[in-house]
Amino acid sequence: MKTVLVTGGLGFIGSNFIRMLFGLARGLRVINLDKQTYAGNPENLAGLEKDERYQAVTGDIGDEGLVSRLLDENMPDTVVNFAAESHVDRSIDGPEPFIETNVLGTLRLLEASRKFFAELTPQEKESFRFLHVSTDEVYGSLGPEDPAFCEKTPYAPNSPYSASKAGADHLVRAYFHTYGFPVLTTNCSNNYGPFQFPEKLIPLMILNACEGKNLPLYGDGGNVRDWLHVEDHCSGIVAVLEKGRLGETYCIGGNSEKTNLQIVDAICALLDEKRPDGAPHVDLKTFVKDRPGHDRRYAIDCSKIKEEIGWEPRYSFEEGIAQTVDWYLDNSTWCENVTSGNYQRERLGIS
């Protein structure tokens, strides 16, 4: 990779990916196209603004003209698409933005990229890659004894969010088989780590516990997820870009199945040690009505990416959750700006 167009690079995973790229290669350039919705936080990449290797562009992947201009001006050899509406609860409350961004936006990004690719020299075409970042939620829900998801698992999305991501995945596949466009797809399990927006389970529980607020758990807290540290996810994407077979899908997981209840108990135990506050933090747990269509279990079989590419996660869950709790405790200003909305007011010039 020499020049990378990253979409959605101010979000949780995208910003971690950009930081990793700059740590891996000195001669790399990154153009970051981000719509700057509520989840796109410029503070996630604080310090890169003056780096000549980095260019931030505010815009929508659905703006095909803008994408085409960025491609023509910067001549990237890699496009990595993180841009997506991603919170299941929000998709239940309002599905339309998920279709607009995740389906139509991906379509327009693909179309602009395909046209750009068609004009490249044979040598440039040989090195060009378009990688689409997706989720294990497209595969639906597993029973307690079901084998983990793999690349051959049939799609069975159960929420508007996962349905929109499934639609995007199918479009990416179609562009390879119809046009010969050099795509790769990754489907990851639940991510956690630094810079995650606090509507998600782990940062929400850390911040609520620190403030003495309730720790709400859906249903009986028994929903199971395979937890993947964001740095492992990003290293998996890099590995797929470098060694993945064109047109293929690679599942990236953390080999760390945990119930939501186990996650919250682990966070509480760490906070009891690091921030003791009289009563144990587990006393803040509360159980709330389950959300509609709540998938019971996700798990990923990483055999393909391990056997073909040699990638596997580096973090154990115990190491990763301890590092994550420490990060949130050590970055109180970032947390305050996110939870208060100050980062958005600053962007909009609102005092």
pLDDT of residue 349: 47
- b (16+ CB within 10 A) / e for 230-262: bbbbbbbbbbbbeebeebbbbbbbbbbbbbbbe
Give pLDDT tens digits for 165-200: 999 999 999 999 999 999 999 999 999 999 999 889
Assigned CATH topology for domain 3-196+227-256+297-316: Rossmann fold (3.40.50)
Distance of CA 177 to CAs 109, 174, 267, Å?
17, 5, 45
SS3 label, residue 1:
coil
If pLDDT is split at 50, 70 and 90, which confidence band does 39 have?
Answer: confident
Catalytic residue among 137, 232, 295, 301: 137
CB 91 within 8 A of CB 98: yes
pLDDT of 1 above 80: no
The question of whether 136 is a catalytic residue gets the answer: yes
CA angle 325, 327, 333 (to 5 degrees): 120
How many whole angstroms separate alpha carbon 198 and alpha carbon 293? Answer: 22
Tell me the torsion sign for CA atoms 102, 30, 12, 154.
Answer: positive
How many whole angstroms separate alpha carbon 2 and alpha carbon 27? Answer: 7
Give pLDDT tens digits for 105-163: 999 999 999 999 999 999 999 999 999 999 999 999 999 999 999 999 999 999 999 99
Catalytic residue among 136, 169, 226, 301: 136
* 31 strand-pairing partners: 5, 55
Catalytic residue among 43, 64, 139, 161: 161
CB 240 within 8 A of CB 309: yes
Whether the predicted model's global pTM rises above the 0.85 cut: yes
Give pLDDT tens digits for 281-339: 999 999 999 989 899 999 999 999 999 999 999 999 999 999 999 999 999 999 999 98
pLDDT of residue 348: 46
The question of whether 218 is a catalytic residue gets the answer: no
Percentage of the chain modeled with pLDDT above 70: 97
How many whole angstroms separate alpha carbon 88 and alpha carbon 196? Answer: 15
